[in-house]
Amino acid sequence: MSKVPSADSSKLVNTVYPYKLLLQPDTRSQFEVMLSDLGITSPRTVLGDPLCQVRDITDGIATVKCGRHQFTVPAGRDAGSPRTHSTYIPTPTQEGLLSDMILSHSVSDICLVGPPGCGKSVVINEFARRLGYDTDSVVL
């Protein structure tokens, strides 16, 4: 929250603890009451969130601008090429997801989970390209 104070607190809670996936319906409703008591309401749309843009990469540190706020995140050796990966289509949802990933990367590691063919590899390759990382595939 200190890096981007305008970030949606409900969205951050869901990122850190995806309770809708983890809790049973009765426990989920109790958790939502607790969030409401704390003033954390349902998330805003992705389109209303400030999108993060990588401005510069120097010595393994990327400068990121997210809305009016600027912060740094770990990065690879050099900035990605100006072109996107050939299979990446920049939709508002994908750009919002990439912004969330960059923001999460500023404080911790990230893990994408989803069924085969949903686009995890395409998104992570675009994330890596923007931050100057190399990628390796690991089949589990």
- pTM of the shown model: 0.63
DSSP per residue over 18-55, as a string? -HHHHS-HHHHHHHHHHHHHTT--PPPPGGGSPPEEEE
What pLDDT score does 47 carry? Answer: 40
Q: Which residues of the chain have pLDDT under 70?
A: 1-8, 11-12, 15-16, 42-50, 78-86
Q: Work out the mean pLDDT of the chain and round it to a whole number.
A: 77
pLDDT in tens, 54-91: 888 888 888 888 777 888 888 887 655 555 556 788 88
